Each structure stands twice: as structure tokens, then as C-alpha cells.
Amino acid sequence: MVMISQGRTIVAIDVGTTKVFTVVGQVGAAGDVRVLAHSTVPNDGLRKGNVEDVAATSQAIRESVADVERQTGQRIKSAYIGVTGAHVTFENAHQTFEGIGSSGVVTAEDLRRMSQRIAAASASSAAEPGRKVIHAIPMEYAVDGETGIRNPVGMHSRHLEVEAHLVTGGSYYIEKLVKAVEGAALRVDGLVLEPLASALSVLTPEEREHGAVIVDIGGGTTDIVGFQHGHICYTGVIPVAGSQFTNDLVQAYHTTREAAEEIKVKYASADPVSVDMKDVVVLPVPEKDVEQRIQRREVCQLVKERAQELVYMIKSKVNETQMEDSAIVLTGGGAKLPGLQHMVQRTFRGHVRTGAPNGHSHVPPELQNPAYATGVGIMLWAAAEAPAAAASRKSFGLESGLTGLIAMWSKQMKRWAPWAVLAPKHQ
């Protein structure tokens, strides 16, 4: 059993189309996060990133949480939850604030208040009926007309403008996700955009700074986030990913999902010519109760065609970011398909790599896998975001005794760009 000692504990849950992944982390004095426990449970309650079967999803969450409760010996009451799906869209919005810096210079407190005003304003403007704001993330500021400022704290200002990245989602889908979490007797601490989480756990600080696009190929969706100058500037979701590859095999060979999935993960490649002509795979045909022998190369050819379609869709989304020459970092379980990275590399001019959450000292080796990029990232996001939220609650007289958290928030502020710590909770 893992003992939880000093330090804030964070629970992050990636409610994915193929699995529920729960990870428990503890924030250290330096703002680092140590993984205490984790659990992965198969999930069949989602379609293309959206909760369809609330009861099945709640059950998978319950099992996964019970597992980490056993490992830590602690009762879990709430968690940070990942959100994605084709209903997620973004808008880069411009807002102006007068009277900021009334104490002479812009303070961290001013930014906190401003971030709340951005969230409130976006909740009424961006969130037309049926939509909710997931994130309102400041990207950069203009102070008294001087543009391109990353962190205006300490600058003299009467007139502050902010460019913010607003991510919104369909209320119907968000409410279903929240219902599934609450059905597992948990409160939602905050919602985190899944590819933003993946970017936090996989991109290097240099990639975030110089520009990179993260492409998270999951089971149900391929999620895309663009980063430039240290902040998120683009969000996109394609409702096609690994499950579609499996479905193609089911349809083509009239076999079971389980068999198609196994063959895909063990033997498929997006590069058929790399596979020996003599290799054969065996697939059951359930209603006929027979087995069929298929050339492995033929399976790979089918997978290659689907992969090529997906890469074209990725290319078209990445073109929207106007970052098509930037580095591309593939992650998510679907990025493990052999040959895919090369296929993507042939389509883009920038460097393409496959990334996993392996640049953090306290992430155990078994989680340094593309499939855990989102879950680990939700944990990292929560470690940076929650103290800011707590500090701003205090500033509005809602909480007291949070000096330690505010100190930690100040430390985080130095480590993370303002977009991370100022991101308000969902509305």
C-alpha cells in the first residue's frame, strides 16, 4: 500500500473511448507531481469521445477509482476530468480592461480578477444556448498599446488588452460526462480539454515556445492542439481514430471486434511493404464458427488506406492552425501504429515525432506510453491550476487560510506560462 504523506493530492480521470484511466498524484514542495497510484479499466460507454451510455461509463469510473483507493488506502471524493469530442470548438477573442493596475503596476491579483472577468464575459458571449465554456486561457497581453506581452505583472498600465483562447463544448455532452462521474459518487473538481492535457505532458518547453502541434490519436477521436510562444492557440477535434481502424477490419473480414482489435495491435502497420509476404494472420468468423487465414500484408494495406485518410484529415486541420511547418508530435494509443509516424512525416515539412509523458521525473515507466499522455497531463494541469483557483477564491472572500497554496501558486507561476495557472474552472 502507498502511504499518502504531506502535500496536496490530485486525482485525474481520463474518460476515454476505450478506457478509463485514473491517476493519483501528490504535489511536492517544488510543484513537482509524484504518481502515487494509477488504474486502467476498459470502457465501452463512449462513442467518438462522447458519453453515450452513462451507466456503463459510471461503472468503469467506479472500478478504476476503487482500484486506486485500494492502492492508496484513501477514499476519493472528487477528480479532475478530461473532456473532448467533435462538439468542442474554440475562438480566439480580444478583450479590453480599463482601470487595471490601479496600484501603479499590474499585479498577479489584477490578472486573477481579469481572468474571472474573461470567463464571465465568455460565458455570456461564447456560450450561446447549449454551449459551455471549458477554458478561457489568456494568450498574450497589450499594455497601453504595446503588444505581444506574455506576462504583464509589474508593468505600469491604465489600459490592458488580452487575447484569450476560448474553448467551448456542447452542454448536452458535458452534462452527460459530469453525470457519469457523479454516478460514480465523485464530484468534478474541474474539466480539462484532453489534448491540452496531452500537450502539457508530452511537449517539451522548447516545442511549446517555438511552435508545435500535438495530435492525440485515441480510440474515438483525434484531438489537435497548436502551441506557439508558450501558449495554446488552436483546438480541433476529428471524430476518427483507432476504433475506426478496428471497425474496418471487422467489416472487411466479418470477424469479432476483439479479434480485429488484437490483430490490429499485434500485426498491423501503415507500411505494408515492410511486412513479409509470407506472414499470415488468423481471424475467426463467428456465425460460421470457422477461421480464416489472411495475408498480413492485406490487413496492413487496409489499415494503410484508413491511416492515409486520417492523415489527410489531420493535414487539413493543421492547415487551419497556419502552423503546418511546425513540429508535429503524435501521441495517444493510435500513434503506436507502426509506419504512421513516417506517413505523417511524408505529409508535413516540420519534424514529426511520437511522444509520451516521459519528460517528468516522477512519472513511472509504465505510464511513459502515448496512451497515458492525457491522464498524466490532466494531473499536471490540475497541479498548476488548482492553487490559482484556490487563491482567487480567497481573494473573493470565499476561503481563508490558503497562504501555503498561494505560495505554491507563485512558484507555479514561474514554472508555467500564465495561460496554465490563470485558466479558470469551467462554468
Ligand X SMILES: Nc1ncnc2c1ncn2[C@@H]1O[C@H](COP(=O)(O)OP(=O)(O)OP(=O)(O)O)[C@@H](O)[C@H]1O
Residues near Mg ion (CB under 5 A):
16, 218, 374
Q: Among residue numbers 232 through 291, which ones bind ligand X (CB under 6 A)?
A: 241-243, 246, 261, 264-265, 268
Tell me the closest approach of the beta carbon of residue 73 to Mg ion, in angstroms: 28
Q: Among residue numbers 80 through 99, which ones bind ligand X (CB under 6 A)?
A: none
Q: Three cell numbers at 378?
A: 490532466
Considering beta carbons, is residue 88 or 111 the nearer one to Mg ion?
88
Residue 192 in contact with ligand X, rule: CB under 6 A? no
Tell me the closest approach of the beta carbon of residue 177 to Mg ion, in angstroms: 13
Tell me the closest approach of the beta carbon of residue 253 to ligand X, in angstroms: 16
- Please tell me whether residue 100 adopts helix, strand or coil conformation: coil
Residue 306 in contact with ligand X, rule: CB under 6 A? no
Residue 334 in contact with ligand X, rule: CB under 6 A? yes
Q: Which does 337 bind (CB under 5 to 8 A by kind): ligand X, Mg ion, none?
A: ligand X
Residue 231 in contact with ligand X, rule: CB under 6 A? no
Taking the C-alpha atoms of residue 60 and residue 362, their distance in angstroms, rounded to an integer, is: 26
CB hemisphere CA count around 91 (13 angstroms) = 16
Residue 197 in contact with ligand X, rule: CB under 6 A? no
**Count of residues engaged in binding ligand X, rule: CB under 6 A:** 23
Q: Three cell numbers at 420?
A: 496554465
Q: Beta-carbon neighbour count of residue 62 at 10 Å?
A: 17
Give the containing element (helix H, strand E) for 414: helix 403-415
Q: Which does 45 bind (CB under 5 to 8 A by kind): ligand X, Mg ion, none?
A: none
Q: Which does 354 bind (CB under 5 to 8 A by kind): Mg ion, ligand X, none?
A: none
| Residue (of 261, 279, 345) closest to 19 by Cα position | 261
Q: Which does 198 bind (CB under 5 to 8 A by kind): Mg ion, ligand X, none?
A: none
Considering beta carbons, is residue 16 or 387 the nearer one to ligand X?
16
Those residues with Cβ within 8 angstroms of residue 81's Cβ, 6 or more apart along the chain or in another chain: 12, 13, 15, 177, 178, 181, 188, 189, 190, 191, 192, 378
Residue 198 in contact with ligand X, rule: CB under 6 A? no
User: At which residue does the C-alpha cell 489600459 appear?
Assistant: 159
Secondary structure of 217-243 in the HEC alphabet?
ECCCCEEEEEEECCEEEEEEEECCCHH
Residue 337 in contact with ligand X, rule: CB under 6 A? yes
Tell me the closest approach of the beta carbon of residue 49 to ligand X, in angstroms: 5
Taking the C-alpha atoms of residue 241 and residue 218, their distance in angstroms, rounded to an integer, is: 6
Residue 16 in contact with ligand X, rule: CB under 6 A? yes
Which one of residues 25, 45, 152, 218 is an interface residue with ligand X (CB under 6 A)? 218
Tell me the closest approach of the beta carbon of residue 219 to ligand X, in angstroms: 4
Give the containing element (helix H, strand E) for 141: strand 131-143
Residue 219 in contact with ligand X, rule: CB under 6 A? yes
Which one of residues 49, 211, 357, 387 is an interface residue with ligand X (CB under 6 A)? 49
Residue 106 in contact with ligand X, rule: CB under 6 A? no
Considering beta carbons, is residue 24 or 241 the nearer one to ligand X?
241
Tell me the closest approach of the beta carbon of residue 242 to ligand X, in angstroms: 2
User: At which residue does the C-alpha cell 495517444 appear?
Assistant: 332
Q: Residues 195, 100: contact at Cβ < 8 Å?
A: no
| Residue (of 28, 160, 183, 30) closest to 95 by Cα position | 160
Q: Which does 334 bind (CB under 5 to 8 A by kind): ligand X, Mg ion, none?
A: ligand X
Taking the C-alpha atoms of residue 73 and residue 67, their distance in angstroms, rounded to an integer, is: 10
| Residue (of 137, 160, 149, 142) closest to 91 by Cα position | 137
| Contacts with ligand X, residue ranges (CB under 6 A) | 16-19, 49, 218-221, 241-243, 246, 261, 264-265, 268, 332-334, 336-337, 371
